[in-house]
């Protein structure tokens, strides 16, 4: 194995370790700014590695083999010297990527995430991205129409895309998921979704796949929005604060649909929320001071920095309601029919 082959394998291994021992944006509490600077430097080094690997080579032919279970998505192998592998959920316009590592996923998708979820419609230059994103993303999720709008805006504004963004665009146009028309891109399928992971932990797969179901199935989306809107305004504000506390700069104020779909994807995962994510937030809440964004959450956490019993019950109740909404989804009926039986049976 020469050094060029070694780099992708090494980064893939480091990506798997990162999720266990370091901050992954959206799935743990924020770290100090020094950590963010370190990660920015790591991203820069990773980008230079991919430039050495990808720029001399033509993009390979893009195919989207089908997967029927999340386990099949998780098991997909990223080809050596390639940044990602492409798949499609069988029978539905859900297109999934698995990246070689977390840094590669962010290099390909962070600018798009800003465009879609933080500063809608804005294509940021490289220097501004790391100010918004202190750390790595666990996964990515987009409407395909938003992806088309992003690449159109980048083209119209003359933004120079990095080599991973270019490779993503190449894969989508080569497969005819995006159609190029002069300086604009359009989608070839209505209500298609593009989702990705780098480290295929079950809760991350479930989270990103839920976004795809929300994007592609109108009955399920309508039911989710209905449940979100039925909550008291004060409760919605607490749920929004808890989601922002994970470390992602969600722009809920200007995008009610973003609030609804993130609420669904986060709070349907009741067990891991209560055992891992919310206690990690509780420790940050404990250290917060008046004027800090997290300080307003103090009334909702007990002395052990877990949610108060009242709010634990609310989270459990809401989680059950959200999982019940799967009856409105053909995709979930198909996915659940193909799930492997629980171990021990």
Find tokens 């991350």 and name the residue. Answer: 204
Tell me, what's the pLDDT at 16? 37
The three-state secondary structure class of 321 is helix
pLDDT band at 12; cut points 50, 70, 90: very low
C-alpha torsion sign, points 241, 244, 249, 250: negative
C-alpha torsion sign, points 250, 254, 256, 258: negative
Q: Give per-residue pLDDT as tens, 90-105.
A: 999 999 999 999 999 9
Q: What is the mean pLDDT of residues 186-208?
A: 96
Range with lowest mean pLDDT among 6-10, 113-117, 217-221, 255-259: 6-10
Residue/partner pairs of 76-85 with CB below 8 Å, 24 or more apart = 78/8, 78/12, 80/5, 80/8, 80/9, 81/4, 81/5, 81/8, 81/53, 81/57, 82/8, 83/50, 83/54, 83/108, 83/164, 83/167, 84/108, 84/167, 84/168, 84/171, 84/196
State the SS3 of 36-75.
Answer: HHHHHHHHHHHHHHHHHHHCCCCCCCCCCCEECCHHHHHH
Residue pair 16/199 in contact (Cβ under 8 Å)? The answer is yes
DSSP 195-255: EEESS--HHHHHHHHHHHHHHH-HHHHHHHHHHHHHS-HHHHHHHHHHHHTTT----GGG-
Q: Give per-residue pLDDT as tens, 145-167.
A: 999 999 999 999 999 999 999 99
Find tokens 């901050």 and name the residue. Answer: 23
Instruction: Report how far residue 345's alpha carbon sits from residue 99's, in angstroms, rounded to the nearest whole number.
Output: 33
Model pTM score? 0.88
121 pLDDT above the threshold of 50: yes
Tell me phi and psi for residue 48, to 5 degrees: -65, -40
Residue pair 108/119 in contact (Cβ under 8 Å)? The answer is no
- 133 vs 9, which has greater pLDDT? 133
Q: How many residues make up the chain in this entry? A: 345
Residue pair 340/71 in contact (Cβ under 8 Å)? The answer is yes
Q: What is the mean pLDDT of the chain?
A: 86
Q: Give per-residue pLDDT as tens, 266-320.
A: 999 999 999 888 888 888 898 889 988 788 899 999 888 889 999 999 999 999 9
Tell me, what's the pLDDT at 344? 55
Instruction: Report how far residue 239's alpha carbon sits from residue 337's, in angstroms, rounded to the nearest whole number.
Output: 31
């Amino acid at each position: 194995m020469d050094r060029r082959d070694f780099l992708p394998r090494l980064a893939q291994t480091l990506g798997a370790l990162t999720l266990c021992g370091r901050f992954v944006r959206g799935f743990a509490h924020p770290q100090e700014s020094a950590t963010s600077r370190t990660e920015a430097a790591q991203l820069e080094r990773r980008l230079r590695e991919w430039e050495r690997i990808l720029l001399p080579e033509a993009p390979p032919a893009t195919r989207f083999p089908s997967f029927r279970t999340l386990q099949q998505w998780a098991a997909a192998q990223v080809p050596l010297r390639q940044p990602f592998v492409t798949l499609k959920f069988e029978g539905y316009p859900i297109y999934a990527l698995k990246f070689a590592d977390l840094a590669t996923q962010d290099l390909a998708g962070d600018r798009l995430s800003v465009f879609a979820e933080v500063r809608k419609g804005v294509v940021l230059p490289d220097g501004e991205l790391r100010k918004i994103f202190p750390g790595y993303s666990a996964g990515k999720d987009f409407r395909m129409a938003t992806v088309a709008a992003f690449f159109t805006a980048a083209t119209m504004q003359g933004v120079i895309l990095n080599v991973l963004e270019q490779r993503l665009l190449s894969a989508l146009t080569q497969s005819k998921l995006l159609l190029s028309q002069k300086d604009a891109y359009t989608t070839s399928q209505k209500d298609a979704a593009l989702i990705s992971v780098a480290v295929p932990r079950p809760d991350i797969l479930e989270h990103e796949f839920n976004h795809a179901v929300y994007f592609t199935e109108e009955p399920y989306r309508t039911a989710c929005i209905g449940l979100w809107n039925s909550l008291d305004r004060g409760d919605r504000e607490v749920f929004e604060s808890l989601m922002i506390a994970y470390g992602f700069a969600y722009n809920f104020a200007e995008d009610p649909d973003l609030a609804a779909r993130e609420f669904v994807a986060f709070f349907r995962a009741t067990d891991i929320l209560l055992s891992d994510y919310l206690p990690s937030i509780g420790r940050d809440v404990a250290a917060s001071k008046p004027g800090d964004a997290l300080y307003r959450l103090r009334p909702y956490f007990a002395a052990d920095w877990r949610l108060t019993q009242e709010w634990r019950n609310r989270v459990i109740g809401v989680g059950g309601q959200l999982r019940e909404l799967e009856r409105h989804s053909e995709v979930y009926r198909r996915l659940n029919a193909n799930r492997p039986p629980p171990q021990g049976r």
